[in-house]
Amino acid sequence: MKSLIRSLLYAATALPVLALAPRTAETAPEPPPAAPSTAQAPAMDPKFRQVAIIFAKFLEQEHFAKRPIDQTLAREWIEAYLKDLDYGRMLFLQADVDELATRYGTTITADLKRGEISAAYEIFSLFNRRLDERMGWVEARLKKPFDLAKDETYNPDRTKAAWPKDAAEADALWERRLKNEFIAERLAYSDKTDKKKDKNAESPAQKLLKRYERFQKNVADMTTEEVVEYYLSSLARIFDPHTLYLGPDTLEDFAISMKNSLFGIGAVLQVNDGYCTIKEVMPGGPAALDKRLQPGDRITAVSQGKAEYVDIVDMRLRNAVKLIRGPKGSEVRLKVIPSGAPDTVRSEIILVRDEIKITNQRAKAEIIDLPARNGAAPLRAGIIQIPSFYGPIDRSYTGEGQSSTTTDDVRKLITRLKEEKVDGIVLDLRNNGGGLLSEAVLLTGLFIDRGPVVQIKDSRGRKHVLEDLERGTAYDGPLTILTNKMSASASEIVAGALQNYGRAVVIGDKSTHGKGTVQTVQELGRYLNTFGPSANAGAIKITIQKFYLPNGHSTQMRGVIPDIVLPNPNDYLELGEDRLPHALAWDEIESERFAAGKSLAQGLPLLQERSAERIRTNAEFARLAQDIDRLRNRLEQPEVSLIEAQRAQERAEEKARREAREADLKRLAESSPKVVRITFGTDESLKVTTADEPEPDAPAAPDESEDGAAPKLTRGEQFAADLHLQETLRVLGDLVGLAQGQDKPAAVAAQAPPAS
């Protein structure tokens, strides 16, 4: 049973201890007197002893790398665990690191194999103590003023820095961190109070202290399974970046992401000042049908049926969500403070849980009509956006709760687009981190007439091929695929296979992500002896194979190289498999036999030439080039000023640039083409709306976000800002023209005047 994780960046949640840089000693507060820590490690759950033994066997025997868990891994594992807990390298000292390496460096791997994982709890207890000590320092420091005119700088990225050598160096680092955050909060506080005249707003120091207190409480509330998840995953990622231990809660979230459904009340929740707050009511769910729960309402307590209420104020969101979710048909009672009501007001809402379809993560389509320009014919383009490759693990299952699948959804969308007589289709795979391998193969088959889609090789060198076995295609017209650095795994299989077949023009960043490995998810409860096969013991997500395209090239590390490369800031960020520690290497195997089309290859040089000329003369791409230059300069000079006046000036300049850009987008949006949306409703029917109408069943969007930011862009403004989609449509227009035997493009999408 093989599945790929939907999000390529999936990992155990990292603790938000951010980076900071040294400061001068004269402004440092005196450290508080040392006091015993009140934080304790979670109680040891004996179940996880067996989990550890089974996990170690899986890593050694089933992982593609076939790497032994021996003493050579010990120090690397200890440091990886410390980094996962303290990834800004702010709380542990170098002396802590050295002492832990001495204490566990000769025993930690052997202990794991016999189920002894006390090191996980002991190191976590030390982390808790260091956090308690630092919180006393932070509280004392925030009571004193900062010198906001002193000429010093701060580097926000300490992920590759050394651990502080002693307490004095740690104090210096924290001084600059707090000063940096204090300046940011002062500037935001000034903007907000000027705009809203909110006399009750918290001061910057109050807001910072509350943020750190909340973080401290979240750490103190960590459970046994979360500590074990950090510990085992830190070892697993030494094997490769995608091998992890999924604790019971994380495994449940993973299953929901694959199925696009869950059982609950149908509300998106967030924590706001310690309250579990309704962010969004999902269409078609029990809360939406009941109509009493509204965005902004605060849930204070939860009861299962007739049981006693459990107070959830200041509870971690994950734990609150566990209480609110539950089996289909079960009753849940909520105590709620209605939005805008005083804290003393409470109302009771009783709901019956039901299956919630997460429709906003399903494939959807748009139809864009591009007008005739520069003598070119008009173009009707269909765009299919695929956020992930989802569906049931076992497609033969047809019982209650059967989830939708990517391939079935896309087939329906193609049928509708053909009925609308589109001239060509864009598959938008941007930010699609992958998902089910089976769906990638089946979806590719919608566009080719049988043949190999992906080759898979295991650690013993054995190869097998997954093929499209179905005769015919769902769509055989002009096709382009839009990708970026966040297109990974299953997305790369689809893009690479259709590129191999000469079936589509791939357009996007310099390469896709480069995740060319196969993971399987094995629930560990079935292997437990003492606790029985039904024990909720989480799972191992483990890399067991590598992908290869039909031509034998691996997608690992290198990704899929587009036929037409568009400039993008992504190419300069720390994105891509090649930037991840312990990524497996690229290689290639023998090509399979497949029928590659030749007509597209013959026309590709002309498509590339026309695209390059448009980019060279397009004013918006010229502006994008300036943005990329600014980004590169920031990356080359990561230090930020800690002089408030300078930061205020930089903030004002950035605000002016943003406002000018927003004005440009509004102007360009006026000439944006008409857009028709096609989405799946909660009743599984296709819903059609125009861009200036709200999507069917969608909740009303607030005028402003919580932090006072500007409203979301309209669809016309989104189109005006999406230069890559615009250029992809122009390429599609060229492709349609070539397919029709023309020497000129079929259409040109709306664009800004050429740069002077």
Query: In Å, how far are 3, 66, 72, 491 from 495, measured between CA atoms?
Result: 18, 30, 39, 6
- Please tell me the distance from the alpha carbon of residue 289 to that of residue 383, in angstroms, as a whole number: 32
Strand 479-483, strand 424-428: pairing: parallel
Written as one letter, the residue type at 1 is M
Return the CATH number at 605: 3.90.226.10
In this prediction the pTM is 0.81
Helix (H), strand (E) counts: the chain:
19, 23
**Residue 2's pLDDT band (boundaries 50, 70, 90)?**
very low
pLDDT of residue 347: 87
In a domain, 4, yes or no: no
pLDDT band at 581 (very low <50, low <70, confident <90, very high): very high
Percentage of residues in the chain having pLDDT higher than 70 = 83
Question: What DSSP string runs through 303-354?
Answer: EETTSPPEE-TT--HHHHHHHH---TT-EEEEEEE-TTS-TT--EEEEEE-E
Whether 101 and 75 have beta carbons less than 8 Å apart is answered as yes
- 4 — pLDDT class (breaks 50, 70, 90): very low
Q: Which two tokens stand for residue 95?
A: 């002396």
Sign of the torsion formed by the C-alpha atoms of 463, 468, 470 and 472? negative
Strands (E), 156-296: 244-246, 261-264, 267-272, 275-281
Backbone angles phi, psi at 304, to 5 degrees: -90, 105
For residues 53 and 155, membership in a common domain is answered with: yes
| 149 has a pLDDT exceeding 70 | yes
User: 270 has which bridge partners?
Assistant: 277
Bridge partner list, 463: 457
Q: What is the pLDDT of residues 61-94, one digit of tens each?
A: 999 999 999 999 999 999 999 999 998 899 999 9
- Residue 44 is classified by DSSP as P
661 touches 752 (CB < 8 A): no
Same domain membership, residue 285 and residue 233? no
Question: Is 115 a member of any domain?
Answer: yes
Q: Is 253 helix (H, G, I), strand (E, B) or coil?
A: helix
- Does the residue 93 lie in any domain? yes
Residue 609 and residue 561 share a domain = yes
Q: Which residue has the tokens 């000329």?
A: 613
- Cβ within 8 Å of residue 479, ≥6 positions away: 424, 425, 426, 427, 447, 498, 503, 504, 505, 735
Any domain includes 608? yes
Residue 427 has pLDDT above 80, yes or no: yes
Specify whether 341 is located in the same domain as 427. Answer: no
DSSP calls for 90-146: -SS-HHHHHHHHHHHTTTHHHHHHTT--HHHHHHHHHHHHHHHHHHHHHHHHTTS--
Smallest CA-to-CA distance from 260 within 412, 365, 408, 367 is with 408
Of residues 487 and 599, more confidently modeled? 487
- 357, 376, 397 — which closes off a domain? 357
**Strand pairing report for 298-304 and 310-311:** antiparallel
Query: Which among 331, 357, 383 is the end of a domain?
Result: 357
What is the pLDDT confidence band of residue 241, given thresholds at 50, 70 and 90? very high
User: Is the model more confident about 597 or about 513?
Assistant: 513
pLDDT tens track for 538-557: 999 999 999 999 999 999 99
pLDDT at 567 > cutoff 80: yes
Banded model confidence at residue 396, pLDDT cuts 50, 70, 90:
very low
Taking CA atoms, 498 is separated from 43, 450, 477, 600, 729, in Å, by: 52, 12, 13, 11, 18
Q: Which domain holds residue 277?
A: 261-357
| Section 99-103 average pLDDT | 95
Q: Does position 619 have pLDDT exceeding 80, yes or no? A: yes
Residue 214 has φ and ψ, to the nearest 5°, of -65, -40
- Asked whether residue 224 falls in the same domain as residue 339, the answer is no
In this structure, the answer to whether residues 585 and 669 fall within a common structural domain is: yes
Q: Are residues 227 and 132 in the same domain?
A: yes
Task: Tell whether 16 is covered by a domain.
Answer: no
pLDDT score recorded for residue 535? 67
Q: For the chain, give the mean pLDDT.
A: 83
Whether residue 350 sits in one domain with residue 364: no
pLDDT at 750 over 80: no
494 in the same domain as 347? no
Question: In 3-state terms, what secondary structure has residue 641?
Answer: strand
Judgement on whether residues 517 and 630 belong to the same structural domain of the protein: yes
Domain boundary pick from 334, 357, 380: 357
Residue 400: is its pLDDT beyond 70?
no
Q: How many angstroms separate the CA atoms of 12 and 235, rounded?
A: 12
Residues 110, 199 share a domain: yes
- Asked whether the predicted pLDDT for residue 397 surpasses 70, the reply is no
- DSSP secondary structure of 385-453: E---B---SSTT--STTPPP-HHHHHHHHHHHHHHTT-SEEEEE-TT---B-HHHHHHHHTTTSSSEEE
pLDDT in tens, 316-356: 888 888 889 888 889 999 999 888 777 777 889 999 988 77
Q: Which helix (H) or strand (E) holds 357?
A: strand 354-357
More confident residue, 5 or 207: 207
472 and 446 Cβ atoms separated by less than 8 Å: no
For residue 8, pLDDT over 60 is answered with no
DSSP conformation class of 475? -
478 falls in which pLDDT band (50, 70, 90)? very high
Which of 228-242, 365-379, 445-459 bottoms out in mean pLDDT, i.e. has the lowest? 365-379
Residues 6 or more apart from 619 whose CB is under 8 A from it? Answer: 752, 753, 754, 755
**For residue 18, what pLDDT is reported?**
20
The answer to whether residues 516 and 641 belong to one domain is yes
What total of structural domains would you count in the chain?
3
In a domain, 15, yes or no: no
User: Is residue 165 in a domain?
Assistant: yes
Q: Identify which of 462, 349, 479 has the alpha carbon closest to the alpha carbon of residue 410.
A: 479
Q: How confident is the model at residue 122 (pLDDT cuts 50, 70, 90)?
A: very high
Residue 247's closest CA among 541, 39, 49? Answer: 541
State yes or no: pLDDT of 35 exceeds 70. Answer: no
pLDDT above 70 (res 671): yes
Q: What is the pLDDT of residue 6?
A: 24
- Are the CB atoms for 8 and 433 separated by under 8 Å? yes
pLDDT of residue 752: 38
With cut-offs at 50, 70 and 90, classify the pLDDT of residue 39.
very low
| Tokens, residue 14 | 């990292």
Kindly report which listed range (245-249, 357-361, 593-597) carries the lowest average pLDDT score. 357-361
Most confidently modeled range among 79-93, 370-384, 387-401: 79-93
Based on the number of CB atoms within 10 Å of its own CB, is 49 exposed (0-12), middle (13-18) or buried (19 or more)?
middle
Q: Has residue 753 been placed in a domain?
A: no
pLDDT the model gives residue 416: 97
Q: How confident is the model at residue 311, as a pLDDT?
A: 87
